[in-house]
Amino acid sequence: MSKRPPSLVKVATTQEVPSRSVRHIVVHDKPMALCNVEGQFHAVNAVCPHMGGPLPSGHLEGCVIKCPWHGWTFDVRTGLPDHPGGHSISAYEVRVEGQDILVGWLKRPGS
């Protein structure tokens, strides 16, 4: 059995988050949107910076999540807007070990 760094928390299994779906999770008291982009898992802030819209209820198309309230869009791999001049959201470290999806703290730039 491998030891996990204490910053990583199991949030789901890969079977619980189907491809092209988004699930609301909370890690380290932070609400997040866990996204499955064709088998690659990503976690971003669950709250849209515009007016607090619930990103886990948004539409995921490819790697872009769209806020259901006013249509703001973000790349779930990085948290950056998918267009110039937009606002960003936080992106978090995600690791898959076997079937377990683990989420941790903020991603480091370039990771």
What are the pLDDT digits (tens) for 2-23?
Answer: 555 568 999 999 999 999 999 9
- The pLDDT of residue 43: 98
| pTM above threshold 0.85 | yes
Structural domain spans, the chain: 9-106
3-class secondary structure, 79: coil
Q: How many CB atoms lie within 10 A of CB 25?
A: 20
The model's pLDDT over 26-84, given as tens digits with 9 standing for 90+, comes to: 999 999 999 999 999 999 999 999 999 999 999 999 999 999 999 999 999 999 998 88
Beta bridge partners of residue 41, listed in sequence order:
36
Q: What would the mean pLDDT of 82-111 be, rounded to a whole number?
A: 90
* Burial class for 49, CB neighbours closer than 10 Å (0-12, 13-18, 19+): middle
CATH number of the domain at 9-106, out of 3.10.20.30, 3.40.50.720, 1.10.10.60, 2.102.10.10? 2.102.10.10
Q: How many CB atoms lie within 10 A of CB 108?
A: 7
